[in-house]
């Protein structure tokens, strides 16, 4: 991808549609209420067979935010009542205890991610309590990845040092855009200098990796203003960059109703922003991991891509294998074996389950053989941009060409458009195809084949 790509108006018109981001397959909208805590416990029991299990990944959702960002589609609670966090911690302890009754104690953990909301809504004492709670229950690997999402407006040098002392070695900075007009339009004002100072301090403290989140497609953005933001982020040199396309779904996410439709860039401008950002970042030495992620060559994510070990989970691209995820907190999504589970989405319901001594799992999905096969195909496309038919055949004892005969026929059209290359033994996503990789993956999504209600997903472009 060394030369600018010629994306035509026909491409834009065809693919200005909604579709999943495939942080999982099947996607979370396919979860069913028939999957409850009892079903989850069976999945955990299966994990514990023979007394052996792979290391765990832990995700903790902290929903509180002190101020509202209009673009946000996360499960969050905007409040100035900081006393709520201590109550929430009490309930996290209750939930953890219930999980430990099923999992057992002292299992190995090699990945921890605190997301939200704003995890740094917790004060230092509360963060210490949360980490101690987890460390008393699990064995944390010395080589593990321990990350926390931070709002630069809520942290200072002392807070960064405290997080480092607690064992966090990775930070994710919510930047989104440096342009003042854009920041005003989305109600998130923070200066370049503020982020720069924090990144410099974190680097001096020995954090292994820093990520910066950016969003293109926000109100008031133009290709010219976003070009400036990319140039600024390059000077900060974060180890990883997540470049997300804004998903405008005001019917689902109430805060987005404060964003005027006429302030949003059109699909042509969004494609230009993405195309130019990719070129700028690659010229600055970043490796294009795929879809929305970039990393410096020495970062673990870039190395995992080179070695074919890249994976995708609910936090995006990951270096860790397809491992089980213990999810704690309101709305958190976990994975155990061939199943997904999700907690209650409201604080009231989450607390009510735990007051009754029950795991707050309200829905999920036990994956069928077909789900597993299609998940392997979709993840290969999303993570590696290529797929070997033989690898699927050997893993799942199937005949790929027969099993996916209709899907391969659909891909012929995408090959004519320059998005994929179909070969006798597999397929490859082209440089242009990476812009539309979700559309390529969607071909293999059985649930979408007879689904007319795709508007619940974000736009591909």
Annotated binding-site members for [4Fe-4S] cluster: 65, 69, 72
Residues 6 or more apart in contact with residue 83 via CB below 8 angstroms: none
Nearest to 1 by CA among 358, 309, 289, 310: 289
- Give the end-to-end CA distance of the chain in Å, rounded to a whole number: 18
**Bond into 26 cis (ω within 30):** yes
Binding-site annotation: residue ranges for S-adenosyl-L-methionine: 59, 71-73, 116-118, 149, 176, 188, 213, 247, 333
Nearest to 248 by CA among 294, 292, 189, 185: 185
CB 122 within 8 A of CB 151: no
Nearest to 323 by CA among 145, 203, 106: 145
Binding-site annotation: residue ranges: 59, 65, 69, 71-73, 116-118, 149, 176, 188, 213, 247, 333
DSSP letter (8 states) at residue 170: E
CB 131 within 8 A of CB 112: no
Distance from C-alpha of 412 to C-alpha of 54, rounded to nearest angstrom: 39
Nearest to 212 by CA among 234, 184, 228: 234
Q: What are phi and psi of 94, to 5 degrees?
A: -60, -45
Tokens read off for 80: 């100035």
Tokens read off for 312: 């995708």
Distance from C-alpha of 271 to C-alpha of 226, rounded to nearest angstrom: 12
Tokens read off for 286: 């970043």
Tokens read off for 364: 């999920």
């Amino acid at each position: 991808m060394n030369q600018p790509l010629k994306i035509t108006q026909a491409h834009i018109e065809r693919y200005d549609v909604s579709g999943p981001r495939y942080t999982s397959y099947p996607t979370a909208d396919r979860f069913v209420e028939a999957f409850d805590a009892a079903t989850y416990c069976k999945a955990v029991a299966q994990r514990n067979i023979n007394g052996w299990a792979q290391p765990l990944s832990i995700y903790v959702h902290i929903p509180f935010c002190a101020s509202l960002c209009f673009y946000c589609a996360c499960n969050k609670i905007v409040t100035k009542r900081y006393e709520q966090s201590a109550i929430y911690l009490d309930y996290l302890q209750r939930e953890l205890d219930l999980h430990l009754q099923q999992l057992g104690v002292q299992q190995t953990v090699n990945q921890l991610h605190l997301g939200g909301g704003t995890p740094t809504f917790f004060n230092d004492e509360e963060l210490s309590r949360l980490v101690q709670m987890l460390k008393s229950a699990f064995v944390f690997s010395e080589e593990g990845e321990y990350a926390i999402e931070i709002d630069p407006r809520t942290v200072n040098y002392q807070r960064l040092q405290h997080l480092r002392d607690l064992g966090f070695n990775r930070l994710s900075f919510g930047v989104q855009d440096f342009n003042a007009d854009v920041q005003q339009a989305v109600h998130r004002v923070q200066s370049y200098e503020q982020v720069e100072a924090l990144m410099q301090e974190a680097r001096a403290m020995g954090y292994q990796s820093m990520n910066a989140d950016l969003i293109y497609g926000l109100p008031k953005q133009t290709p010219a203003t976003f070009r400036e933001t990319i140039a600024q982020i390059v000077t900060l040199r974060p180890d990883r960059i997540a470049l997300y396309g804004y998903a405008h779904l005001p019917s689902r996410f109430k805060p987005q109703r404060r964003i005027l439709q006429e302030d949003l860039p059109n699909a042509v401008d969004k494609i230009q922003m993405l195309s130019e950002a990719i070129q700028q970042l690659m010229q600055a030495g970043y490796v294009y991991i795929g879809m929305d992620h970039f990393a410096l060559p020495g970062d673990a994510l870039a190395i995992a891509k080179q070695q074919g070990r890249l994976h995708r989970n609910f936090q995006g691209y990951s270096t860790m294998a397809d491992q089980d995820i213990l999810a704690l907190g309101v709305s958190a999504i976990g994975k155990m074996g061939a199943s997904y589970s999700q907690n209650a989405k409201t604080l009231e319901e989450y607390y009510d389950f735990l007051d009754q001594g029950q795991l707050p799992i309200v829905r999920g999905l036990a994956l069928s053989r077909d789900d597993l096969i299609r998940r392997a195909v979709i993840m290969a496309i999303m993570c590696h941009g290529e797929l070997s038919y033989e690898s699927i055949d050997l893993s799942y004892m199937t005949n790929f060409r027969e099993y996916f005969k209709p899907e391969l026929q659909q891909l012929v059209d995408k090959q004519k458009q320059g998005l994929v290359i179909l070969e006798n033994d597999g397929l490859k996503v082209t440089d242009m195809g990476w812009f539309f990789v979700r559309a390529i993956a969607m071909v293999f999504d059985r649930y979408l084949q007879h689904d007319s209600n795709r508007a619940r997903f974000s736009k591909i472009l």
